[in-house]
Structures are given as C-alpha cells and as structure tokens.
Amino acid sequence: MIRVCSAEDLIVMKAFADREIDWHDIRGIVVRQGIEKIDWQLIQKELQPLCEAKENLEIMDRLDPMCRK
C-alpha cells in the first residue's frame, strides 16, 4: 500500500514551510485539483494554529487570494 497525503494536507504543509518554491507548488496544486474541489475550510482550520505557533499570520493572508475564484 502506498500512503499519500491529501491536496489539503499538502497545501497546509507547504504554506507552513512558507518558501517561494512552496507557494509555486501550492498554485500548481490549486490548478490541478480545481479551486472548487479543495476544502479551504479544512485548510484554514489546520493552518491557523500552526501559523499562530510560528507567529506568522501573514501566511494566512498570502493563502487567502488563492482560495477565491
């Protein structure tokens, strides 16, 4: 069995890493999956506490435009 993570999990991990290459990857994930198929509420729920712990809420601001049509 091969274990893989969901698109949402990958977006959370890459946004939390907050490198330029990760933001490029996130854009690619959104294009491949389709913006309407991604569970943005789940991403926000999981990412928000991580950003608070990292003291970098700007990550949430950077992700926000990607979840809009």
d(CA 42, CA 19): 21
d(CA 67, CA 65): 5
d(CA 67, CA 60): 11
- Tell whether the model's pLDDT for residue 62 goes beyond 80: yes
What φ, ψ does residue 16 adopt, rounded to 5°?
-65, -40
Residue 69's pLDDT is what?
Answer: 61
- Tell whether the model's pLDDT for residue 66 goes beyond 80: yes
Contact 28, 62 (CB under 8 A): no
State pLDDT tens for residues 1-52.
888 899 999 999 999 999 999 999 999 999 999 999 999 999 999 999 999 9
Domain ranges within the chain, ordered by starting residue: 7-67
Residue 22's pLDDT is what?
Answer: 98
